[in-house]
């Protein structure tokens, strides 16, 4: 039979490492058992940490070992039942409790360090057959500390979803496209208001000339499918506005792609306050904004909400935090 984990490559890396760890731990456990030692492989991290660092609080053990607090507590309870560890209360602070090795635990470590652990280490090194597995593991751990596997998966998925999309900058020839896309989504659920009409008929006057931006998203098979703007409203306050995607392109993540680029552009503009106004009927859009980091803001609604009769939701975005 073929080995499915080796066949599936990096997709099964975690499962393959787990299988390898379980295989090595089972052999190490058998070696301990053959010599009459009560230790289990799962006990080793805490046992070794106490041997190297002395008494530890549970929190200190969590930091040193990289395990969860319940996991540390379970190991300690198992070792305590074997008479190898104990819990002590600090004389300086009765609320602080530390885990330490008992005399029996210290004696057991001395025997294992002399009679067994060097042979386990030598056997594992021989199995690596000249490969610096420890350095490789350290590099993987450091890479995952820098960026988790989940973040890497998400980034890869987004790259795949967005690979055919591109951003197009505004020019005067696209003014009618900007108005057309914006009208389509507004009139689908509401009706155009005087403020909408004024901005759509004069985008350069209201958005571009005061220092704002209009971006479009383009798909190779459909052309320009969406638009959005960063419009100066009052001082350094900007409104994310006229975000819309054509019906023909919905489901292709064009709105998410466009929003990401608009927020990147916002970081390069002299914006001190970025907000948007929408309506509670627009749940899909609200979810998209929440996912991007916008938060609901009653103050914004009170200050800028009256610009649109349909506006009953206001959200703001912290550019510094982002």
- pLDDT digit string, tens, across residues 226-241: 999 999 998 899 999 9
Q: Rounded to an integer, what distance in angstroms lies between the CA atom of residue 230 and that of residue 214?
A: 6
The phi, psi pair for 210, rounded to 5°, reads: -75, -5
pLDDT value of position 41? 80
Query: Comparing 265 with 39, which gets the higher pLDDT?
Result: 265
Q: Rounded to an integer, what distance in angstroms lies between the CA atom of residue 182 and that of residue 241?
A: 9
Contact present, 206 and 231 (Cβ < 8 Å): yes
pLDDT at 322 over 70: no
pLDDT value of position 160? 73
Distances (CA, A) of 151 to 26, 143, 144, 156: 33, 12, 9, 9
The residue-averaged pLDDT of 112-120 equals 94
Residue 221: pLDDT band (50, 70, 90) is confident
CB neighbour class for 60 (10 Å; exposed up to 12, middle 13-18, buried from 19) = middle
Token pair in block for residue 190: 């509401």
Of 179, 195, 189, the residue nearest 308 (C-alpha): 195
Residues 6+ apart with CB under 8 A from 127: none
Contact present, 284 and 256 (Cβ < 8 Å): no
The residue-averaged pLDDT of 72-91 equals 91
pLDDT digits (tens, 9 = 90+) for 173-205: 999 999 999 998 888 888 999 999 999 999 999
pLDDT at 13 over 70: yes
Contact present, 316 and 275 (Cβ < 8 Å): yes
Q: In whole numbers, what is the pLDDT of the chain averaged over residues?
A: 91
% of the chain with per-residue pLDDT over 90 = 77
pLDDT value of position 253? 84
Token pair in block for residue 235: 């001082």
Per DSSP, what are the bridge partners of residue 177?
A: none
pLDDT value of position 224? 94
Q: Rounded to an integer, what distance in angstroms lies between the CA atom of residue 256 and that of residue 287?
A: 11
Of 56, 111, 48, 47, the residue nearest 83 (C-alpha): 47
Q: Is the dihedral of CA 276, 278, 282, 287 positive or negative?
A: positive
Contact present, 72 and 56 (Cβ < 8 Å): no
Among the ranges given (99-108, 157-166, 184-193), the one the predictor scored with the smallest mean pLDDT: 157-166
pLDDT at 163 over 70: yes
> For the packed helices 69-81 and 44-53, what is the interaxial angle rounded to 10 degrees?
90
Among the ranges given (80-84, 117-121, 159-163, 283-287), the one the predictor scored with the smallest mean pLDDT: 159-163
pLDDT value of position 93? 72
Contact present, 239 and 210 (Cβ < 8 Å): no
Whole-prediction pTM: 0.59
Residues 6+ apart with CB under 8 A from 120: 28, 31
pLDDT at 1 over 70: no
């Amino acid at each position: 039979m073929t080995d499915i984990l080796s066949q599936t490559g990096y997709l099964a890396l975690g499962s393959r490492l787990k299988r390898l760890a379980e295989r090595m731990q089972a052999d190490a456990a058998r070696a301990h058992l053959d010599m009459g030692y009560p230790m289990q492989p799962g006990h080793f991290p805490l046992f070794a940490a106490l041997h190297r660092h002395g008494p530890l609080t549970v929190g200190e053990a969590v930091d040193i070992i990289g395990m969860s607090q319940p996991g540390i507590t379970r190991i300690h309870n198992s070792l305590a039942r074997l008479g190898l560890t104990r819990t002590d209360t600090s004389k300086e602070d009765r609320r602080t409790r530390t885990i330490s090795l008992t005399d029996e635990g210290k004696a057991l470590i001395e025997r294992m360090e002399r009679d067994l652990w060097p042979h386990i280490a030598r056997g594992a090194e021989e199995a690596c057959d000249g490969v610096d597995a420890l350095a490789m593991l350290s590099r993987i751990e450091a890479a995952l500390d820098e960026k988790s596997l989940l973040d890497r998966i998400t980034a890869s998925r987004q790259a795949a979803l967005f690979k055919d999309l591109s951003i197009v900058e505004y020019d005067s020839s696209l003014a009618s496209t900007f108005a057309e896309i914006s009208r389509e989504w507004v009139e689908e659920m509401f009706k155009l208001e005087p403020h909408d009409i004024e901005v759509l008929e004069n985008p350069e006057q209201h958005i571009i000339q005061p220092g704002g931006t209009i971006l479009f998203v383009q798909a190779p098979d459909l052309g320009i499918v969406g638009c959005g703007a960063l419009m100066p409203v009052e001082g350094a306050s900007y409104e994310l506005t006229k975000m819309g995607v054509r019906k023909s392109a919905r489901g292709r993540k064009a709105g998410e792609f466009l929003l990401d680029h608009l927020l990147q552009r916002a970081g390069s503009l002299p914006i001190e306050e970025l907000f948007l106004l929408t309506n509670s009927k627009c749940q899909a859009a609200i979810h998209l904004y929440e996912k991007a980091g916008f938060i609901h803001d009653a103050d914004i609604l009170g200050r800028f909400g009256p610009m649109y009769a349909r506006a009953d939701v206001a959200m703001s975005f912290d550019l510094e935090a982002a």
